[in-house]
Amino acid sequence: MEIVWFGHACCALKNDITTIITDPFDSSLGLKLPPLEADIVTVSHDNPRHNAVDMVGGSFKVVNRPGEYEIRDIFIQGQALFPAKAKGAEAVQARNIVFVYYIEEITICHLGDIAQVPTQSQMEALDNIDILLIPIGGGNSLNATQAAEVISLIQPSIIIPIHYALPGISIILDPLEKFLQEMGQSQVEAQSRLRIRQVDLPIETQIVVLKPTLE
């Protein structure tokens, strides 16, 4: 399977049959997506920087609610997390959906626009995660310190940082370097995409930095 990052929380998760696009963003972010085609589009948060499904081409199924889904050859679980102080309609508007995808015997978790460290009960759905796509830039999402705490709880094989400062981005986020320092890493060489099989997953947790594929 293959993972490509397009900036912010937008990624492509692909195997030979199916392409999933996560959290496509609109032009208000200040970045421009390349032409995208998908079979499935998942939306973690009802915000134009996460729900711009009209930026994606193809005949695709949109998954934007919690639940369990089996689409084509992919099994997906979505769990809603709500801000601690939000109530009623405000909580529904602000909710974030954490998605777990099962692709070619690899379990991938996309934390979306998560803003808080999950509770112990919420963590039960995040057991045995192989690859974790985690926001690290702060703002309305996890900052570097919170991200490190979540990583210590989930203990994935591979960490892919997302949702951080990039040239041209219109919102204020922390840079990747702040997260790498928090994780005790001075530098990680970025790569254009991650291609991996289940048998190739590392024994010790590894950070993989992806270059944003932008137009």
pTM of the model: 0.94
Tokens 């991938």, residue?
108
Q: What is the dihedral of CA 164, 38, 56, 30, to 10 degrees?
A: 10
Token output for 90: 């405000």
**pLDDT reported for residue 84:** 55
Contact call for residues 63 and 69 (beta carbons, < 8 A): yes
End-to-end CA distance of the chain: 23
Q: 184: how many CB neighbours lie within 10 A of its CB?
A: 8
Task: With a cut of 50, list the residues of the chain below it in pLDDT.
Answer: 86-91
Q: Report the pLDDT value the prediction gives residue 92, as an integer from 0 to 100.
A: 54
**Residue 89, pLDDT score:** 47
Q: Looking at residue 6, what is its pLDDT?
A: 97
- Contact (CB, 8 A) for 215 and 197: no
Amino acid identity, position 204? E
pLDDT at 181: 95
Query: What residues contact 161, with CB distance under 8 A and at least 6 apart?
Result: 134, 135, 136, 147, 176, 179, 207, 209
Q: Are 156 and 174 in contact (CB under 8 A)?
A: no
Homologous superfamily (CATH) of 2-207 is Ribonuclease Z/Hydroxyacylglutathione hydrolase-like (3.60.15.10)
Domain residue ranges of the chain, discontinuous segments joined by +: 2-207
